[in-house]
Structure 1
Amino acid sequence: MTNGSGVPTGTPLADPPLIEMISEDPVLRNTKLIAEAWDCDGLNQVGAFPHYGGRWAEWNGRFRDTVRNFIKGMDGWAGPFASALCGSPDLYASTQAPETDWWSTNSGRRWRGNRTPTASINFITAHDGFTLADLVAYNDKHNQANGEGNQDGENHNNSWNCGEEGDTQKWNVKRLRQRQMRNLCVALLVAHGVPMITMGDEYAHTKRGNNNTYCHDDPLNWFNWEESEADEGGFQRFMRCMVNFRRSRPELLRSTFVGAKDVQWHGELPDSPDWSEASRLVACTINDGAGNGLYVAFNTGHTARALKLPKWPGKVWQRVADTSQLAPFDFLAADEVMSPKELARAQAASLMWSADHHAAMLPWSALILESVPESAVEAMKAPEP
């Protein structure tokens, strides 16, 4: 705690007895324990929370901030974003802490490193702060309804309104917001670690820019079933497809950190990543160890990019998701919205480009491709109606 003037007093316990008791409690032995490893006075223990043999996972606040900043197109976030996609090994695998991390280089040193990606609870939004929809619709908090003169709530949101604050009828702004929500969703669900989705984000619930709604028992906090069922922008379908996709892909369900044999980084050309301060493109291939894998790319700049895809023996790349496409073509999967015949046609159309190992990305978009046998090029012959 501080002494009232912002000067810290006292020393956090490196071996807190309460946390140890919770960790060893026989009733809680088989439960999942998750720490919000920071407090209101500045102590941040992310990466080195007293976890007692891995009993505790941690809300990864650094993942949240990194993804928000990179997806909205800020300088200097390409490298940290790549690390976040890999489960944050700099936080959970490495025993070395930055000199600025007081806790990890002093009392918390014993708890740092030698962990797995499952220590990281990845999230974009939580119970407080902006919802996913508001994260792409507001630059500033709008907490007047809380009765505290808009003084409460977090001021540092790493949000971007996509060109206009709040409600808008401008189609280009609304379309960009839909893309950005999908981009954030892709980043969360392809990243190694444990994803956490806040209730309501799956249908783009809005709190009208209020980022501190603890005091409201009204539609700001209620789950809107009618809006969820309507799914007018197709975002809930996209979210559902992404969740199912993650569950089905061994490349994304890893209990150990990836190495050079598991993931390769790319730029506009294969094996040529751009880690410069101004980089807006992060792309990688992730293999499953059995000759198959995924190509994942994020373009968070304001210009389109033409990508040359890596060549894998006997394989071509087929589109799974492209956030620049209108629903339902943003995610290619057969369901109640897209019939198997429509899916086959859309996949055939995507192979027109990726079969030649090329892909185009619009500004602020994300792309997922999967490797398929070269014989799949035959699917370019559209099925008979």
Structure 2
Amino acid sequence: MRPPAPPRPLRDLPPPAGVTLLPDGSGADVSIFADDAEAVEVCLFETGDDSGESERRVALSERAHGFWFGRLPGVGEGQRYGVRVHGPWDPERGWRHNPAKLLLDPYARGIEGRVTWRPEVFGHSVGPTLVGDARLRDERDSAPYVPRGVVLGDGFDWAGDRPLHHPLTDSVLYETHVRNLTRRLPGVPAHLRGTYAGLAHEATLEHLTRLGVTAVELLPVHAFTSEPALVQRGLTNHWGYNTLGFFAPHAGYAHASDPQGVLDEVKTMVRELHRAGVEVILDVVYNHTAELGGHDGPTLAWRGLDARTYYRLDERGHDIDVTGCGNTLDLRHPVVARMVLDSLRYWVQEVHVDGFRFDLAVALARGRNDDYDMDHPFLVALRTDPVLSRVKNVAEPWDVGMHGWRTGQFPPPFSEWNDRYRDTVRSFWLTDVAAQAHAGHGVQDLATRLAGSQDLFGARDRGPIASVNYVTAHDGFTAHDLVAYDHKHNGPNGEGNRDGSGHNLSWNHGVEGPTRDEEVLTRRRRSLRNLLGTLLVSTGVPMLNAGDELGRTQRGNNNAYCQDNEISWFDWELAPWQEDLLATTGFLTRLRREHRVLRQRTFFQGRPVADDGAQDVAWYGADGSAMTDGAWGDPGTRTLQLLLDGTWLGEESVLLVLHGGAQDTTLTLPRPPAGASYRLVWDSAWERPGDPQDVAADLREQVTATSLRVYLTAR
């Protein structure tokens, strides 16, 4: 029976969305947005010793501005609950209310249980129950097959924890997965491996500090679920881009067994990472939800509350999909934008995270005509919010909708993943002269990327810190596989190798996959060092794909989103070459940290910095003379030298030599700043960092094929 309509509101405004415990401990306020509903009930669940689970339904007695709210006496920490909504059922108009379906509160801070994929979790009839119209309302109760929200407290001993606020110029980001990093790490106790607690363990912190990273960028830790198709194949959504709750941490990554313990474990992880000098950036998915499959998808939360508000729908009530996942959250609506902003503030203020990487960020900023709008109200709110405008915000500047690629078009102070950097660096080191000639350009684009991508980020005073440089990420080949495979090998995903990108700009060096050919292995290792070295000496904010410093392989799988196994987990039994690579990466991050000229906040201006007319940046060819217009555009140009004059900063100058030719060569270094000489401090031809080497007076150097060198000046 439908509850009676609520009386006139007792309060002018609803309380904060979700469940808010009263200060005097007498109960809680609850507030749920369901604008088109006719009645809303909060369902309180209790578990007895012998009687199983009981459900008590409480009709919310007040309504204002689309929110249904009321007071729940006696409700306290640990209370398990859900929501049922009564209202019209007309899918063609976006009305999908079905009180038979237990819904999660979008603001639930704890989530207990998981989704069991049965017909009952769909609001409409599906599968064997289908009779006539596929969108008939299904009257079966979904409660046995869906999670419950859990009321949590805010108490936690932060022991004086404060934000680190590392400048972006000093930052080295480390994109990683909570589970993958420590699932096999020997120094972490077995029961903590693959958990938030494992990430905070001293053995993990020792690796991060040895490596020299300043922030971990964690793949999604919001509560999520696996898609039915994956479950049917015996797999899981391992990456977590399938959000079930924007406020609750994913319980599957916790050693703790109860929702309050899960949240406390996450807070402990953040606190301990901060103590080690490492910030925490969360990869967040606000562009779509776990109610996949469009209008025929499951009814778990938002769809059953108010599909017309939460999702982009067309005139037929069908989802407008610019995410590739069947639905798109509609941040044009103030309630949806507020939910996202509330979630972000919660993670900053209550969990102390230091920033966010926004998955498919263009989808968050599509306006009334579905076009990307850099002045979208959500972006304006994010940029002006006194809390959120002070943290690190990184956009993945694309989605899969029309005109969805927007690299360089986000407003300040956003930084962005720079896919142009990725592709240019891969192309230079992993393609031959013929391929470069076909591309129709020489090293000019490479120079632009090395210098911070001013063509993309030069407007609106954004500077090089707007460019998050990367050569690999979670999505695609690892660096090891980039130099060992020409083709993806995604068979274990069960999709006939159709998933994952086929455009990888990779090179197997003559043999596909594993080999014992020492010559091939030597060239692969040098290419690995070229990629990592270029990344860590480029202007901008470098992001390492975790495990690349170990030469980690995914066996050629470039879309391991469903592989919670040895394909994704780091193997910490390192061969000597892997130990060498780890030492090399640590050396390069230290080199970057010690030389400000590699960490510029503004673009190089070519301005004079000395009486002899020396400039802060200068480009040279293989003969040591300045680059000419013809050399810049010549596809045959495979050697580039970049001199970064550090004298105006009161430090050593840095000379970078990038030789992409297939043969060893002799080149001439440019004349160093007045009174200085060069020392070779790193060569990608070295298996591990070596001692500095002085350069002969004639400045002529023998350089290995496809190699990168770093020189410093000495006086």
- Range of TM-score over shorter length: 0.7 to 0.9
1:178 maps to a residue whose letter is: R
Q: Which residue of 2 aligns with 1:87?
A: 452
The answer to whether residue 521 in structure 2 is matched with residue 165 in structure 1 is no
Question: CA–CA distance in 2 between the matches of 1:269 and 1:302?
Answer: 17
Deviation at 1:77, TM superposition (A): 4.5
1:236 maps to a residue whose letter is: L
Deviation at 1:284, TM superposition (A): 1.3
Q: Any residues of structure 2 matched to 1:99-178 within 5 Å, and which?
A: 112-178=459-525
* Per-residue Cα deviation, 1:251-310 (whole angstroms, up to 9, x for no partner): 101111112221111112223333212211111111112473011111111122211112
Query: Which has the larger displacement, 308-317 or 361-370?
Result: 308-317
Q: Which residue of 2 aligns with 1:66?
A: 424
Q: Which residue of 1 aligns with 2:568?
A: 221
Contact conserved, 1:303 with 1:362, CA < 8 A, in 2?
A: yes
For residue 655 of structure 2, the aligned residue among 281, 295, 306 is 295
The answer to whether residue 642 in structure 2 is matched with residue 280 in structure 1 is no
Question: CA–CA distance in 2 between the matches of 1:2 and 1:115?
Answer: 31
Query: Which has the larger displacement, 283-292 or 194-203?
Result: 283-292
Contact conserved, 1:315 with 1:371, CA < 8 A, in 2?
A: yes
Percentage of pairs with the same residue: 35
Deviation at 1:21, TM superposition (A): 2.4
Deviation at 1:2, TM superposition (A): 8.4
For residue 714 of structure 2, the aligned residue among 361, 372, 375 is 372
Question: CA–CA distance in 1 between the matches of 2:466 and 2:595?
Answer: 20
Q: Which residue of 2 aligns with 1:195?
A: 542
* Per-residue Cα deviation, 1:156-192 (whole angstroms, up to 9, x for no partner): 1111111111001111110001000110111101111
CA 1:203–1:355: 2 relative to 1, 3 Å: farther
The answer to whether residue 594 in structure 2 is matched with residue 248 in structure 1 is yes
1:369 alignment partner, SS class: strand
Question: CA–CA distance in 2 between the matches of 1:35 and 1:10?
Answer: 18
Q: Which has the larger radius of gyration?
A: 2
Question: CA–CA distance in 1 between the matches of 2:538 and 2:377?
Answer: 33
Contact conserved, 1:281 with 1:297, CA < 8 A, in 2?
A: yes
Question: CA–CA distance in 2 between the matches of 1:232 and 1:119?
Answer: 32
CA 1:248–1:131: 2 relative to 1, 3 Å: same
Deviation at 1:139, TM superposition (A): 0.7
Contact conserved, 1:318 with 1:354, CA < 8 A, in 2?
A: no
The answer to whether residue 380 in structure 2 is matched with residue 26 in structure 1 is no
Q: Which residue of 1 aligns with 2:666?
A: 306
CA 1:291–1:236: 2 relative to 1, 3 Å: closer
Deviation at 1:220, TM superposition (A): 1.4
CA 1:218–1:126: 2 relative to 1, 3 Å: same
Higher share in strand: 2
1:207 maps to a residue whose letter is: Q
Q: Which residue of 1 aligns with 2:581?
A: 235
* Per-residue Cα deviation, 1:308-333 (whole angstroms, up to 9, x for no partner): 112232221111111113x33xx23x
Residues matched between the structures, number: 327
2:597 alignment partner, SS class: coil
Q: How does the TM-score come out when normalised to structure 1? A: 0.80
Question: CA–CA distance in 1 between the matches of 2:484 and 2:579?
Answer: 15
Contact conserved, 1:299 with 1:363, CA < 8 A, in 2?
A: yes
CA 1:22–1:79: 2 relative to 1, 3 Å: same
CA 1:120–1:165: 2 relative to 1, 3 Å: same
Question: CA–CA distance in 2 between the matches of 1:310 and 1:67?
Answer: 23
Question: CA–CA distance in 2 between the matches of 1:237 and 1:118?
Answer: 26
2:564 maps to a residue whose letter is: D
1:197 alignment partner, SS class: strand
Q: How does the TM-score come out when normalised to structure 2? A: 0.44
Contact conserved, 1:70 with 1:81, CA < 8 A, in 2?
A: yes
CA 1:291–1:147: 2 relative to 1, 3 Å: closer
Deviation at 1:45, TM superposition (A): 1.2
Question: CA–CA distance in 1 between the matches of 2:485 and 2:388?
Answer: 40
Contact conserved, 1:231 with 1:237, CA < 8 A, in 2?
A: no
Deviation at 1:233, TM superposition (A): 5.7
1:214 alignment partner, SS class: coil
Gaps of 5+ in 1: 4-8, 94-111, 333-342, 374-385
